[in-house]
Structure 1
Amino acid sequence: MIRVRYFAAAAEAAGLDEEALPSGTFAEVRAAILARHDALQAVLPRCALLADGERPADDEHVADGVTLDVLPPFAGG
């Protein structure tokens, strides 16, 4: 299982801050997120998704124990 953490608008759209999902390729994990949370359809394409701080490629495996952060765009610095 991987840990998915949602922030700001992504958390609001998902209706939760965190959940566990099965590991798989990044594309499979992203599809699973969208299948579980229809309201993320509008938000997720604008988000940065970081697996333990790195942007994975679609065909890259997201291994058990990884934390995937879903970060919407934000202002400031």
Structure 2
Amino acid sequence: MTRVRYFAGAAEATGTESEHLDVSTLADLRLMILERHGSAFERVLGRCSLLLNGTLTEDPGTALSEGDTVDVLPPFAGG
């Protein structure tokens, strides 16, 4: 299973900080989390960056393996 961690507004929109999902690609992951968390989360997800094991990934065909971690990071400002 892939561990998905949600941060800031993504955690707020899903109501959880993490979950484990059985998916094989990044595209499958996106579909599953949208099915689980609905249209309100879809607006958030569209602005988020996805990190696979700490590395930014955008290719929906990226394969996910047992034990991977995907971080869902909304845009944020710092100072």
Give the TM-score normalised by the residue count of structure 1: 0.93
Partner residue in 2 for 1:21: 21
- Of 50, 75, 78, 1:76 maps to 78
- % identical aligned pairs: 52
Q: How does 1:7-18 map to 2 (within 5 A)?
A: 7-18=7-18
Cα shift readout 1:1-24 (whole Å, capped 9, x = no counterpart): 010000000000001001000131
Cα shift readout 1:15-51 (whole Å, capped 9, x = no counterpart): 1001000131110111111110012111001000111
- Which of structure 1's runs of 4+ aligned residues deviate more than 6 A? none
Please tell me whether the aligned partners of residues 23 and 64 of structure 1 are also in contact (alpha carbons under 8 angstroms).
no
Q: How does 1:49-64 map to 2 (within 5 A)?
A: 49-56=50-57, 57-64=59-66
Partner residue in 2 for 1:44: 45
Does the residue aligned with 2:67 lie in a helix, a strand or coil? coil
Distance 2:62 2:69 in 1: 14
Does the residue aligned with 1:20 lie in a helix, a strand or coil? strand
Unaligned runs of 5+ in 1: none
Cα shift readout 1:34-69 (whole Å, capped 9, x = no counterpart): 110012111001000111012331111111100100
Give the number of equivalent residue pairs. Answer: 77
